[in-house]
């Protein structure tokens, strides 16, 4: 019997219990799945960083901690966590993120807001360029970034992907490193942020890098709030260097009611809904990783603690 403890926020247990049991049965896993297994008897922990569990020291038998979220910045620095940590990458996350990115890129590419603001009887034609003439840059080429970038390329956009280290994705233009970042941002008309939150990525969009963009560029951030220097973005919006920012993630969440983003005419706030972990698809990834762990195979989506993701 494999002992699996569910240690996410208690509100998640009713949503995940049956999908997890179904996935375990599908993968032929004989498990005891509960929320209250004694720590010394636990083989695997299903986890989210907002869990009451913050001290992993008693879990001496635990083979792996399986995160329900793609982001691990809230747990990766926990000094009591000595077990392998796997982040969540599943179909639901990738598809949800891709749909959000495509929807908002097309919104800005087609300048839909321009027409929504002019429903007054004035006939003011404004024809958008073709996608091949729209320069889109995606910062971050992990699982989510690669999926979104590939989808944008499939629609014909002049898309460039950038990552901190070298990546090669068939059919995509991929840049990396400091020089690559300058090249990727120079003249970009739409920028999508899909990087993890690490010391190396915080404030990657700042006064200096925002100045590289094509004037009036659109910023889309469904990645992590600290990727953007908020004061620099507000200044760039005020002087026209950035035409619009669509933001799904923030340094403080929920976004405080008095934050200037809420009332800013050139900012769209979405409440961290770009991509949500869905119990049915996430449960299959959890089950597959437990199957792999029990079979002596490498776990999927292991976190590199030195990189922070």
pLDDT tens-digit series, residues 164-221: 999 999 999 999 999 999 999 999 999 999 999 999 999 999 999 999 999 999 999 9
State residue 196's pLDDT score. Answer: 95
pLDDT category of residue 122 using cuts at 50, 70 and 90 = confident
For the cut 90, the answer to whether the pLDDT of residue 124 exceeds it is: no
Q: What does the pLDDT look like over 138-162, one tens digit per residue? A: 999 999 999 999 999 999 999 999 9
Give φ, ψ of 103 to 5 degrees.
Answer: -60, -45
For residue 77, the cross-strand partners are: none
What is the chain's mean pLDDT, rounded?
96
pTM: 0.92
Mean pLDDT in residue range 112-128: 90
Beta carbons within 8 Å of 254's beta carbon, 6+ residues apart: 271
Q: Give me the catalytic one of 87, 134, 164, 224.
A: 224
- Three-state DSSP class for 252? coil
In the chain the domains, ranked by start, together with CATH numbers, are: 2-90+277-295 (3.40.50.720), 91-269 (3.40.50.720)
Q: Are the C-beta atoms of residues 160 and 136 closer than 8 Å to each other? A: yes
State residue 306's pLDDT score. Answer: 86
Give φ, ψ of 59 to 5 degrees.
Answer: -90, 65
State residue 120's pLDDT score. Answer: 83
Q: How are beta strands 85-86 and 135-139 bridged, if at all?
A: unpaired
Query: 268: closest CA among 301, 292, 242, 294?
Result: 242
Q: Are the C-beta atoms of residues 66 and 46 closer than 8 Å to each other? A: yes
| Residue 272 annotated as catalytic | yes
Q: Give me the catalytic one of 176, 272, 278, 291.
A: 272
Mean pLDDT in residue range 280-305: 97
């Amino acid at each position: 019997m494999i002992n699996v403890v569910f240690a996410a926020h208690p509100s998640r247990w009713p949503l995940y219990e049956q999908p997890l049991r179904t996935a375990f049965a599908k993968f032929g896993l004989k498990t005891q799945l509960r929320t209250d297994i004694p720590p010394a008897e636990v083989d695997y922990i299903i986890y989210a960083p907002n869990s009451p569990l913050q001290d992993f020291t008693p879990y001496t038998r635990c083979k792996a901690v399986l995160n329900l979220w793609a982001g691990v910045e809230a747990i990766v620095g926990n000094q009591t966590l000595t077990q392998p940590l796997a982040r969540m990458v599943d179909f639901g996350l990738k598809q949800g993120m891709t749909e959000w990115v495509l929807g908002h890129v097309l919104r800005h590419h087609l300048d839909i807001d321009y027409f929504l603001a002019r429903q007054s009887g004035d006939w003011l034609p404004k024809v958008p360029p073709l996608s091949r003439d729209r320069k889109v840059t995606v910062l971050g080429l992990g699982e989510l970034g690669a999926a979104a970038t590939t989808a944008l390329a499939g629609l014909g956009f002049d898309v460039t992907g950038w990552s901190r280290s070298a990546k090669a994705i068939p059919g995509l233009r991929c840049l990396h490193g400091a020089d690559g970042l300058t090249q990727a941002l120079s003249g970009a008309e739409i920028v999508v942020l899909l990087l993890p939150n690490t010391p190396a990525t915080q404030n990657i969009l700042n006064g200096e890098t925002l100045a590289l963009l094509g004037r009036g560029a659109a910023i889309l951030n469904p990645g992590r709030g600290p990727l953007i220097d908020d004061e620099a973005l507000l200044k760039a919006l005020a002087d026209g260097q950035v035409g619009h920012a669509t933001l799904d993630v923030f340094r403080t969440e929920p976004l405080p009611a008095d934050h200037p983003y809420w009332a800013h005419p050139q900012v769209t706030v979405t409440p961290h809904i770009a991509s949500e972990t869905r119990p049915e698809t996430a449960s299959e990834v959890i089950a597959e990783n437990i199957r792999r762990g029990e079979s002596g195979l490498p776990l999927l989506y292991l976190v590199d603690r030195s990189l922070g993701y």
